[in-house]
Amino acid sequence: MKKKITVIKVGGKIVEEKESLDNLLDRFAAIEGYKVLIHGGGRSATRIAESLGIESRMVGGRRITDAETLKVVTMVYGGLVNKNIVAGLQARGVNALGLTGADCNVLRAHKRPAGEVDWGFVGDVDSADGAMLSKLIEEGIVPIMAPLTHDGKGNLLNTNADTIASETAKALSGNFDVTLTYCFEHPGVMRNPDDATSLIPLINRESYKQLLADGTISGGMIPKIDNAFAALEGGVSKVIITKADAIEGASGTHIIEG
């Protein structure tokens, strides 16, 4: 029987504001057994880019990453946000190790080809080294992964953190029984974000089509759920979308294949 592992992806203001970050780290540290944390940090990147006079350009919630923006996201994701999380977890007795995709070659990607939009230095994942990550994890190390990959030619690439979470979870599924949890500011996928009672507890492929068609699911939630289904297809046992203060349990929206 495979050992269980929990892969948590967290983003938004949760990792960028002290109170919410402290709460997240307390809860993550309390998770028993093997675990991995993948984080974003887009608001901080936008704020710091602005302070440096660098315009942030977004299309569909995704960041166009020119050479100057790549420098900013590398500093923010791989440095400021990542190391604050690592330091906070070390203070809580968790032997955390900050990683980008270039470290130990854990996430190899290619630069997204220019089409209607030239995304610049944005990467689409080609491979994730589950064996290397598994070795680290089984040695008692908790990987903290920033949303940066590399192309094997010396170039770093900005890569969607939801995708990194899905690819990491899939890569680990060969050695572990993986639960992937996407957490953010809401209790899960909501019919109405302003109504706390409108949680959708279960989404399968058929209901997903309906929720897309009627506009209930839109914007940044679409790639999150697409990545959730990709994770299930890749061998992940369970995918949950929930609030950051519920990562220990089973509440939230469960994504299932059936």
Q: Each residue of 158-186: pLDDT tens digit?
A: 999 999 999 999 999 999 999 999 998 88
In the chain, the number of structural domains is 1
- Calculated CA dihedral for residues 20, 25, 26, 30, nearest 10 degrees: 140
| Gap between the Cα atoms of 37 and 234, Å rounded | 19
Q: Each residue of 72-101: pLDDT tens digit?
A: 999 999 999 999 999 999 999 999 999 999
214: which residues sit within 8 A by CB, 6+ positions away? none
- The CATH number given to whatever domain includes residue 222 is 3.40.1160.10
Name residue, tokens 């979870």.
169
Give residue 27's identity as a one-letter amino acid code. Answer: R
pLDDT beyond 80 at 12: no
Q: Each residue of 119-141: pLDDT tens digit?
A: 999 999 999 999 999 999 999 99
pTM for this structure? 0.94
Q: Which domain holds residue 152?
A: 3-255
Answer with the residue of higher pLDDT: 165 or 220.
165
